[in-house]
Amino acid sequence: MKAAFLFTGTGPIVIVTSYDSLEHPKVTELLRAKGIPKFIAYEIPMNIVAERYGHHYDTVMHSLKETDDLRVLDINGDRAFRLFKLEELLNPVKHEEPPLDHLPE
């Protein structure tokens, strides 16, 4: 399991994934399906995530089934940004889908 802090077009979010890499094609596919085609992600140690989110973390993790590959733990960017020190954000990963030729209608 990996936890990650993502900077996205709409602001920071925190995710948990069962994949061992944030660069795994399935992770980027799942994020793209959630409307996140471009991001900068940083790993966050799971013990720190569990400590900071407490009961909410436990609830999300207990509802995480073996078939669930990715869960969004926090969509409140302000809260997520305040919960973690920058020094706790590790191993940056940049991902960008090819740009659109035009704006969607």
User: Phi and psi (nearest 5°) for 5?
Assistant: -100, 120
Q: How far apart are CA 27 and CA 43, in angstroms?
A: 13
Taking the C-alpha atoms of residue 17 and residue 78, their distance in angstroms, rounded to an integer, is 21
- Would you list the domain boundaries of the chain? 2-96
- 8 Å CB contact between 3 and 16: yes
Q: Are the CB atoms for 2 and 14 separated by under 8 Å?
A: no
> pLDDT tens across 43-99, in order?
999 999 999 999 999 888 887 565 568 889 999 999 999 999 999 999 999 999 887
pLDDT tens column, 8-57: 999 999 999 989 999 999 999 999 999 999 999 999 999 999 999 999 99
Predicted TM-score (pTM) of this structure: 0.86
The DSSP bridge partners found for residue 72 are 15
